Amino acid sequence: MSDSAPRRKAPDQPWRTEGTPEEPPGRSGGRRMRGRWWGLAVTAVVVFLLAYIGLNYLDRGDEPTISYTEFSRQVQADNVSKIYSKGDAIQGELKSARDAPGDHGDYTTFRTQRPAFAEDDLWQELNSRGVTVTAEPVVKERGALTNLLISLAPIVIIVAVWIFIARRFGPGRGGAGGMFGRKPPPKPVELLPGRHRTTFADVAGIDEVKGELDDVVDFLEHPDAYRAMGAKMPRGVLLAGSPGTGKTLLARAVAGEAGVPFFSASASEFIEMIVGVGASRVRELFGEARKVAPSIIFIDEIDTIGRVRSGGASVSGHDEREQTLNQILTEMDGFTGSEGVIVIAATNRADILDPALTRPGRFDRVVNVSPPDRRGREAILRIHTRDIPLADDVDLTQLARTTPGMTGADLANLANEGALLAVKRGQSQVTATDLSEALEKVQLGAERTLVMPEEDRRRTAYHESGHALLGMLQPGADPVRKVTIVPRGRALGVTMSTPEVERYAHSEEYLRGRIIGALGGMAAEEEVYGVVTTGAENDLEQVTAIARGMVARWGMSEAVGRLSALPSDAQQAYGLSAAPRTLDVIDAEMRRIVDDCYEEARRKLREHRDRLDALAAALLEQETLEEADAYRVAGIPRLAKSETA
Ligand SMILES: Nc1ncnc2c1ncn2[C@@H]1O[C@H](COP(=O)(O)OP(=O)(O)OP(=O)(O)O)[C@@H](O)[C@H]1O
Ligand SMILES: [Zn+2]
């Protein structure tokens, strides 16, 4: 339990349906349902009270209370027909109506009180005058209906209190889930025209990611076409990226683009609930989504339940998590793939996820969402200042330049802070000053350092330029697709090169080229700064793996010869290892190859220093260079070269 992510969203319903705020007629959401019960309780109590007062009034009649003197007078006048007495209280009935004192009008029945000091001989008097003294009250004390109502009162009150508590603490308010009646299942909502729904137009700076989600949208829009073809779609898409990069926004946009209902839940909400409820919530959620398919289920913070499962005995917290996770996996397995429910999950810890999640048929499509580069930041700023009146001195291009490392959420926050400042100052427009002060505030308030020191950015730019330039210069190497100094995960920058066509066999020249390219980062740093930093760990792992393969597996070293000189994994499991002498030779050969390559890398970079500088400068300026730009900046013609295998 202790290791589950502490990040919480505001308490809310266990899940929310989005797409439209309005409910179609005949369907009521949880809140409205509770409101109805509440109204019912209030009505019941009011009706009850009115009935009680009314009946009581009717039952009581309108007999006046008369003075004992008046009573005595009526007895003397022979006008009393019968009386009933309990203690000193007397009720009676007259033979003929009397005009009552005050506003009572005529009366035949009455009440009175015999004072304790009365020394009359009442009993004799009544007897002699033939007044009946009855055992029954002359005036009924209380009607039968009133009595019934009174006996019902406790029940009415209990029901009212019950409804009140259910409403106040029922599920959906973060209380005891299901204890007071089940929360109605999540209801899908149709998309009302005229309501702003999130679309790809609201997402900027991550175009490649949008591209990857295009076919998901297409599938949701035309599920029948896919069904007719018997085509299966990925059931789950995993959006991986650091906080604030717009994962939730993207999922919403997919739903908005396709115009399908959007069910949203946070994984942590499942396990926060009463033990054992998580799995059934998941079942219910999928059930509802299936009913209105095509639809989208979005599960945020999937890592809270999807982290690698503990092998051994587990504490109850893990059990709950595993049950919930298992339920999600079961539901996803249960999809035929053509049902049209697509699950989008988000995480900022893709590295700790259970591999079971990313197996085919589950979240088999992993989309990395990275922080935006300069152009992306500018586009995001434009989106978030759409509705903000900007003064003429505001230059969003310039602002984007000064905000490296900031995510979409940071930029949205920045725009908003700027607007707040302008309002506070009574301005009608947001000025450049407002925005630069807002930037300071946002950067101070952020927990992580948003902006990499300029020195580190420069070094990273040279490092990546080194990789890229050598990749471009190397005959037969895979073309460079993209160079960026926007950090991703733990990498400060990335140079991507992929082959034109899938290759299955590699020549020695190609492999040497790969090593030279991988060493390019280090070589450039040494060339420019004279020293090397720790940023090259990953590069060296690659280099080592290739060199070891060349020497010990692929027979590319004279000294070792055409031998598979290292034992396979299976052989190693039986304790087999290469002879120490062989290991020494392998080691020496690997070193020789890598040293050679490093020399060549240094030599080439020195020779093309102007190109290296140009690339680094362009990277510092733009942060990301696509294939065409990279070749253009370096002044190297982009030739389709094919390797002789
Ligand atoms: N690429 C983007 N384009 C436009 N706005 C963005 C973008 N990325 C983030 N935002 C803004 O930041 C807000 C927060 O982003 P969102 O909640 O989608 O991030 P997230 O990656 O899901 O974060 P978390 O991991 O914290 O849940 C969005 O509502 C949006 O206003
Ligand atoms: Zn590198």
pLDDT in tens, 310-337: 554 444 556 777 888 888 888 887 766 5
Per-residue pLDDT reduced to its tens digit, 341-391: 889 999 988 888 888 888 877 888 888 888 888 899 999 999 999 999 999
Q: What is the pLDDT of residue 3?
A: 38
- pLDDT of 16 > 60? The answer is no
Q: What is the pLDDT of residue 357?
A: 82
454-634: CATH number: 1.20.58.760
Question: To test the ligand 1 pocket, which listed residue (196, 209, 239, 245) has its Cβ within 8 A of the most ligand atoms?
Answer: 245
Point out the ligand 1 atom lying closest to the alpha carbon of residue 252.
Answer: 18
* Residue 241 assigned as binding residue: yes
**Whether the predicted model's global pTM rises above the 0.80 cut:** no
Judge contact between 362 and 236, C-beta under 8 A: yes
State the average pLDDT over residues 219-243. Answer: 83
**Ligand 1 center from residue 245 Cα (angstroms):** 5
State the average pLDDT over residues 603-620. Answer: 96
Helix or strand (DSSP H, E) at 229: none
Q: Is 120 exposed, middle or buried (0-12, 13-18, 19+ CB in 10 A)?
A: exposed
Q: What is the pLDDT of residue 25?
A: 35
Show the ligand 1 pocket: residues with CB < 6 angstroms: 203-206, 243-249, 300, 346, 348, 380, 383, 408-409, 412
**Ligand 2 center from residue 522 Cα (angstroms):** 7
- pLDDT of 459 > 70? The answer is yes
The better pLDDT of the pair 38, 260 is held by 260
Instruction: Kindly indicate the confidence band of residue 573, based on its pLDDT and cuts at 50, 70 and 90.
Output: low
- pLDDT of 599 > 80? The answer is yes
Instruction: Kindly indicate the confidence band of residue 580, based on its pLDDT and cuts at 50, 70 and 90.
Output: confident
Per-residue pLDDT reduced to its tens digit, 514-526: 999 999 999 999 9
Give, in degrees to the nearest 5, the angle at Cα 67 between 65 and 73.
120
Q: What is the pLDDT of residue 183?
A: 52
Q: What is the pLDDT of residue 13?
A: 37
- pLDDT of 272 > 80? The answer is no
- Give the CATH fold of the 382-445 domain: Helicase, Ruva Protein; domain 3 (1.10.8)
* Residue 193 assigned as binding residue: no
Question: To test the ligand 1 pocket, which listed residue (199, 209, 248, 264) has its Cβ within 8 A of the most ligand atoms?
Answer: 248
Instruction: Kindly indicate the confidence band of residue 608, based on its pLDDT and cuts at 50, 70 and 90.
Output: very high
- Name the average pLDDT for the chain: 78
Q: What is the pLDDT of residue 178?
A: 39
The better pLDDT of the pair 577, 528 is held by 528
**Ligand 2 center from residue 604 Cα (angstroms):** 17
Q: What is the C-alpha to C-alpha distance for residues 449 and 135, in angstroms, rounded to an integer?
A: 94
The better pLDDT of the pair 22, 600 is held by 600
- CA dist list (Å): 213 to 200, 208, 251, 252, 304: 10, 9, 9, 12, 24
Whose CA is closest to atom 24 on ligand 1?
Answer: 243
Point out the ligand 1 atom lying closest to the alpha carbon of residue 376.
Answer: 1
Q: Which ligand is nearest to the CA of 344?
A: 1
- pLDDT of 469 > 70? The answer is yes
Judge contact between 98 and 144, C-beta under 8 A: no
Identity of the amino acid at 41? A
- pLDDT of 595 > 90? The answer is yes
State the average pLDDT over residues 258-262. Answer: 88
Point out the ligand 1 atom lying closest to the alpha carbon of residue 242.
Answer: 25
Q: What is the pLDDT of residue 6?
A: 35
CB atoms within 10 A of CB 562: 10
**Ligand 2 center from residue 593 Cα (angstroms):** 19
**Ligand 2 center from residue 18 Cα (angstroms):** 43
Whose CA is closest to atom 25 on ligand 1?
Answer: 243
- pLDDT of 46 > 70? The answer is yes
The better pLDDT of the pair 41, 219 is held by 219
* Residue 14 assigned as binding residue: no
Residues acting as catalytic residues: 464
Point out the ligand 1 atom lying closest to the alpha carbon of residue 250.
Answer: 18
> Which homologous superfamily is 15-26+186-368 in?
P-loop containing nucleotide triphosphate hydrolases (3.40.50.300)
Q: What is the pLDDT of residue 28?
A: 36
Q: What are phi and psi of 342, to 5 degrees?
A: -110, 130
Q: Which ligand is nearest to the CA of 483?
A: 2
Q: Which ligand is nearest to the CA of 348?
A: 1
Taken as a whole, the chain contains a residue count of 645
Judge contact between 601 and 520, C-beta under 8 A: yes
Per-residue pLDDT reduced to its tens digit, 132-149: 888 877 766 666 677 777
Q: What is the pLDDT of residue 195?
A: 58
Q: What is the C-alpha to C-alpha distance for residues 16 and 154, in angstroms, rounded to an integer?
A: 38
Identity of the amino acid at 584? D
Q: Which two tokens stand for residue 53?
A: 């007062």
Per-residue pLDDT reduced to its tens digit, 86-114: 888 888 888 888 876 666 577 888 888 88
Domain 62-133 has CATH 3.30.720.210: yes
